[in-house]
Structures are given as C-alpha cells and as structure tokens.
Amino acid sequence: MTEAPSIADRDSISKRESGVTEKSPMRLRMEALIKEKQSEIVAALQKLDPENKFRTDTWSRPAGGGGISCVQQDGNVFEKAGVNTSIVYGTLPRPAIEKMRVNHKAIDPDVDSLEFFAAGLSLVLHPQNPNAPTVHLNYRYFETMDNDGKCNAWWFGGGTDLTPTYLYDEDAIHFHKSIKDACDKHDRGYYPRFKQWCDKYFYIPHRQESRGIGGIFFDDLDSQEKDQEQLFSFVKDCLSSFLPGYLPIVTKRKDMPFGEREKQWQQLRRGRYVEFNLVNDRGTSFGLNTPSARVESILMSLPLTARWMYMHEAEKGSREERMIGVLKQPIEWV
C-alpha cells in the first residue's frame, strides 16, 4: 500500500498546477510574499555594492520545505549582509502543543502530535562604516494543521529594529516614522504597543541596556487580534516599508569618514549584538533546537567581527557615552 502524499507534497503539486492566488491557503501566500520581498530587498542592496555579489544558497528539508539564503561578506558597504527565507513543514510533539495552547486556544488539546508549517523572512545587515547602523528584520507566519492540511490555528509575528554604533537623531526619527506610518494604516494603537514590546524584547539583562534603539516587535497575532486577511495585509505593509525606512540612512552614512576609535567602538557594540543573539534571543534558540536545522542560516545574524574589552568605559561627554545613555533609557522618536 502506497503512503498518502504529505502536506508538503500536496502543496508542491498545488503550486505547480495552479500557482498561488488570493484563494490559496495562507501558508502558500505567505511563502510567495517572503520570496518576492527577499528578491526585491537583495536587488536593492546589490545596487549599493555591484562589485560584491550576494552568494545565494537554496536548500531543502527532508520533511518538506527549505529555504534560500542570500549572503554578502566583506563588501564595500556591508561587512556582512544576510537575507534569508525559510519554509518548514513538521510535526509538533505533545509538550510543544501544550506550550502553544497557552496563547492559541484553537489548537486541539486532545492530540499527541500535530502537523505544522512555518514561513519567515529574516534579514540582518552589518555595515562596514561605524556611522551606518545595523538593521534587523523578521516577519513570520505559523500554522497548525490536521492530517488533510486544513488549518486549525495560525498566527503572525515579526518586526524590525535599528542598532546604531553612533546616534544620528534624524536617522532614528526617519526609521521609526516609516514603520509607524505602516502601522497607522491598520491600527493607530499598533506602533506604540509594538514599539514598547520591541524595547522590552531587545533588552540585554546582564548589561542592563537595550541592543539598539528599537522599532517594532510583535508575536502571536491571531484571530483574537484581527482577521487573517487584515493581519496579512499589515505584515505586507511592514515589509514594504523596510527599504524606504533603511536605504536612505545607509546611503547617507556609508561613505562618511571614520578612524580607529570609531571602528573600535563599533566592534564593542557588535559584541553586545552577539551577546543578545546567543544568550537572549528566542528565535536563535528555537532555530538551533529544531531538528535538522540549517545552522549556517540561523547564525547568519552574527557579525563577521566583534570585540570584547575588559572594563571598557565610554569617555564622559563623548558620542559613545550619549549612545549608552539612550540604550539604557529608550526614547520616543516619533
């Protein structure tokens, strides 16, 4: 007796035969969206540095799904830039189901395992110039399904945040305004709520400071928040706001003069970035603990170089001290 095709196999056949339309399941629409946005973002970043081509790796997972990793290293503009998509089909064991039911009551409590699907676009850009800020973005969709592929619980998560080495107020205002405009199209309460969530999430407890100057962060947005179409439209607008929010900043800063002092300070701030990602970030931890995870793609977020100095203190009245002050006490930029 032949085995019934998996949900991943059936989705592949559906995409091949009918393409992806507005009537397709949300998992296929989200997959199409993140691949489209990945291509758009990589093309825009490539124009900043045409000589150094992005390396593109396409990979697949045995249980279904896979991803595309686009990475540029040691370029003229970015020390390291990674733009990744990931599609995962898998099975949730009973303990994971119980944990997820805390936030998602639609999940069936009486099963020992559940099929799931996850899709996400993740991006981290670490510029060469200390005057240009690091930026992070991640938007994702998760659903659980019964054996015939019918969705029984779903949610969206994501956000974007800026991590400058040196603070330029106009850059912070521009970045926050662009993401606030995207939020305001859907709900005027989103930006203040998700900015506060971001400030709280990207905090390094052992340093008692934030990783950067924030942006937005949200998770577990499901039908208790808004309907699926409204939330998908919100995520689309957030993704579309990324290039207008970040490109003008990096374009303005990438060729500014800097010296050894600025480079050393950048390396120290990169060390903090590494600390947060390896110690505090739930996404990194989840990724590394997922069976047959692609470790290279998960650790793409780490900078190429970083530095730790014993008992380093910023000079009184310096730009470095001002940066630390804002990281210890987040600001309302817009």
- Cα gap 295→86, rounded to integer Å: 12
The distance in angstroms from the start CA to the end CA of the chain is 63
Q: Are 209 and 327 in contact (CB under 8 A)?
A: yes
- Cα gap 76→104, rounded to integer Å: 45
Regarding beta strands 113-127 and 55-60, do their DSSP bridges make them parallel or antiparallel, or are they unpaired?
unpaired
- Dihedral of CA atoms 181, 221, 332, 165 in degrees, nearest 10, equals -90
Q: Are 115 and 146 in contact (CB under 8 A)?
A: yes
Instruction: State the catalytic residues.
Output: 136
- Cα gap 237→221, rounded to integer Å: 15
What sections of the chain are H helices per DSSP? 7-18, 26-48, 94-101, 169-184, 190-201, 228-240, 242-253, 260-275, 282-288, 295-298, 319-328
Tally Cβ neighbours within 10 Å of residue 216: 24
Q: Are 255 and 156 in contact (CB under 8 A)?
A: no
- Helix (H) and strand (E) counts in the chain: 11, 9
- Pull the structure tokens for residue 53: 């081509």
